[in-house]
Amino acid sequence: MAARHSSLLFFTSVLALLAPLLALDIENLGRLKANLDEIINLHSHKLHSDEDGKNTQQSRASDPLQTEHRSWPKDCSEVSAGSPSGVYVIQPTGLHPIVVYCEMNATDGGWTVIQRNQQSTEITWAESWSTYKYGFGNVHTEYWLGTEYIHQICKQKVYEVRFVIWDAANNTKFADYNLFSLEDESQGYRLRLGTYSGLAGDAMTSNSASTVHDNMKFSAKDLDQDTYSGNCASSYGGGWWYSACYSVRLNVKGGITWGSLCNGNCKASAIFIKPASYC
């Protein structure tokens, strides 16, 4: 009993020593205002290790950096089913670990949340290309995960997307596209969507050439890649896949819009992705 206790104590102090290293290694921890002690898969790793046999603890303890070399999920779909929704560390192939919110609905979970916004947001969304590239906001409330991270996640497998829109009456509506990917930065993070289903309306693809979003490059206020003579992102506040200019506007302070479902008066939005399911 005493031996087990002291080895637990030892393991816990090793973890405490490693925490600052880990914090440095999680690239966007500060940018998304996350705290180490709320990261769900950090805790479960610790609990899991505590329950492990003494041998495992000793071998880990003899090489403390070993704890750094665990493998993180590549996206939220690799978080074990039945886990709660919340803040997790993921590590997409080729990237440093990053924090993200995982939507772990028991019946339909494993979604990586790449965007969340609400009408009363504190953040302005009028950010530069490089701020959009690596993400900003607050992982607990409103945030943009980062255009580069989204691109890197979607390179790993074939992904689908769910746009979740809370309309003017605060009813929840989905717009699902069975494919979702972003081309790389040299191609302007051009958006590629698959076939639509849902009740929110196909506002990303079905509109006229001047308001379509599918197949558009991403634009931010300091990098105009839209199809308009002016600069949509600087006129309308946030970075997005603008044409000339939009039927959907989710990255904005106030004025969230989804086609004709809620034009400037949507209550909130979220964008979820996960590997595509084939039926």
Nearer to Ca ion, 50 or 224 (CB): 224
Stretch that binds ligand NAG, among 1-9, 101-109, 190-198, 224-232 (CB under 6 A): 101-109
* 228 binds Ca ion, rule: CB under 5 A: yes
- Listed in sequence order, the residues at least 6 apart from 32 whose beta carbon sits closer than 8 Å to its beta carbon are 99, 135, 136, 137, 138, 139, 143, 145
Nearer to Ca ion, 195 or 234 (CB): 234
* 105 binds ligand NAG, rule: CB under 6 A: yes
Strands (DSSP E) found in 62-209:
86-90, 98-103, 111-118, 136-137, 143-144, 159-166, 172-182, 191-193, 196-198
Stretch that binds ligand NAG, among 164-172, 214-222, 237-245, 250-258 (CB under 6 A): 164-172
The one-letter amino acid at 236: Y
Neighbours of 238 (CB within 10 A): 24
Considering only residues 59, 170, 235, 277, which one is a binding residue for ligand NAG as defined by CB under 6 A? 170
Nearer to ligand NAG, 24 or 106 (CB): 106
Considering only residues 38, 63, 108, 184, which one is a binding residue for ligand NAG as defined by CB under 6 A? 108
Considering only residues 55, 62, 71, 107, which one is a binding residue for ligand NAG as defined by CB under 6 A? 107
* Tokens linked to 197: 């289903």
- Listed in sequence order, the residues at least 6 apart from 234 whose beta carbon sits closer than 8 Å to its beta carbon are 126, 221, 224
What does the DSSP assignment read for 147-174? HHHHHHHHHHS-EEEEEEEE-TT--EEE
Nearer to ligand NAG, 80 or 105 (CB): 105
* 267 binds ligand NAG, rule: CB under 6 A: yes
Nearer to Ca ion, 148 or 226 (CB): 226
Q: Which does 101 bind (CB under 5 to 8 A by kind): Ca ion, ligand NAG, none?
A: none
Instruction: Judge contact between 257 and 175, C-beta under 8 A.
Output: no
* Tokens linked to 104: 């772990």
d(CA 242, CA 220): 9
* 166 binds ligand NAG, rule: CB under 6 A: yes
Q: Which does 130 bind (CB under 5 to 8 A by kind): ligand NAG, Ca ion, none?
A: none
Q: Which does 224 bind (CB under 5 to 8 A by kind): ligand NAG, Ca ion, none?
A: Ca ion
Residue whose structure tokens are 């084939």: 278
Nearer to ligand NAG, 127 or 142 (CB): 142
* 210 binds ligand NAG, rule: CB under 6 A: no
d(CA 15, CA 42): 10
Give the interface with Ca ion as residue ranges (CB under 5 A): 224, 226, 228
Give the interface with ligand NAG as residue ranges (CB under 6 A): 105, 107-108, 166, 170, 172, 267
